[in-house]
Amino acid sequence: MIGKVTYAASEIRENGLSSTWWKNRFLHRVVGDIWFREVVGNRGEYITERDWDNLLVLDACRLDLYQRVANADCDAVRSRGAATPEWMTENFKGGSFPEIVYVTANPYVSIISEGEFHARIDLWEEAWNEAENTVLPADVSDRARAVSEEYPDKRLIVHFMQPHQPFIGWDLPGSFWNASESPWDALKEETVDSGDILKGYADNLRTVYPIARDLGLDLPGKSVITADHGNMLGEQVRPFPIRDYGHRKGIYTDENVLVPWDELPFEKRKEITADGTDSDRREVTAEVTDRLADLGYTQ
């Protein structure tokens, strides 16, 4: 207890004059940890209990953005996480899913998983694009097709990095020119034209969507396009008089946790088998940290 008090006092001495720091502490400690977790509760659905053979995950894709850019008639699902680490922990941590093979462009999937899946393929490691500081959608799709052939009797999760920053082809904060900055901080601080930020975000979805859809239509079985979480664009975190940008765990606003559930047409279901999981767990190495920083995450 004394240690916690000392730590808190040190934090206040160092940051107490910063309104941004106080806002963030309020969002994490009061809004996230108390209001949403303890009072409202996590009302999201467990993804493994839904009906799919292939789950194509678009990272940080808001429901309204998907409906505007991709499919206006798609259904919605409430995610169990407002950020990728929380989504992974809530859906998979400590479980056993020998029927699932997970192909991921997001390093957090590799950090958090501990052998829950039959196999995990780390594309952020083997297919990283140094020019764009991300894994490109076409490379994810190509690898997923090969993995599907290798594991024809498994449920397949394919985790694309887009529309999450960096925005491919855009010279904006969070792109490879400014990888240490966030487009959402720029939106909040009005240091960049908001129209450019929002168009870059939408364009990242326009880049990944047709690739994900074509993949889903080509894979055997029932494919569904969804997202791990959404993203705040300055909306009010009701019932509090405070606005938020980006996505942080525990903030279960509709903008953060309502995501698309777009079921694609199919001819025949897969015959799924469950025969063991691997024991791989990714340690937080310098390489993982570098990749997360390139994607705009902070540890």
Q: Which residue has the tokens 């240690």?
A: 3
* CA–CA distance, 236 with 223 (Å, rounded to integer): 34
Residue 122 is predicted with a pLDDT of 96
Cβ neighbors of 77 (< 8 A, separation 6 or more) are 44, 45, 50, 226, 258, 259, 260, 261
What integer pLDDT is reported at residue 8 of this predicted model?
34
Treating both helix axes as pointing N-terminal to C-terminal, what angle do 194-218 and 137-150 enclose, rounded to 10 degrees? 20
- Contact present, 183 and 201 (Cβ < 8 Å): yes
Return the pLDDT at 69: 97
User: Which pLDDT value is given to residue 175?
Assistant: 73
Look at residue 128 in the predicted model and tell me its pLDDT.
Answer: 93
Largest CA distance in the chain: 63
DSSP state of 273: -
119 membership: H or E segment, kind and range? strand 117-122
Handedness of CA 111, 112, 116, 120 (dihedral sign): negative
Q: What is the pLDDT, as a whole number, of residue 171?
A: 87
Q: What is the pLDDT along the chain (299 residues), one digit of tens a residue?
A: 444 334 333 443 555 445 565 566 667 667 767 777 777 878 999 999 999 999 999 999 999 999 999 999 999 999 999 999 999 999 999 999 999 999 999 999 999 998 999 999 999 999 999 999 999 999 999 999 999 999 999 999 999 999 999 999 998 888 766 666 789 989 988 999 999 999 999 999 999 999 999 999 999 999 999 999 999 999 988 888 888 899 988 999 999 999 999 999 999 999 999 987 765 656 657 677 777 777 767 54
In this predicted structure, what is the pLDDT of residue 279? 57
Triad 110, 116, 119: Cα angle to 5°: 70
Measured at the alpha carbon of residue 293, what is the angle toward residues 229 and 125, in degrees to the nearest 5? Answer: 85
Contact call for residues 264 and 280 (beta carbons, < 8 A) = no
Q: Which pTM value belongs to this model? A: 0.87
CATH of region 45-294: 3.40.720
Write down the pLDDT at residue 276.
74
59 within 8 A of 160, measured Cβ to Cβ: yes
Residue type (1 letter), 275: D
Report residue 187 as tokens.
Answer: 């939106």
Give the span between the Cα atoms of 73 and 262, in whole angstroms: 8
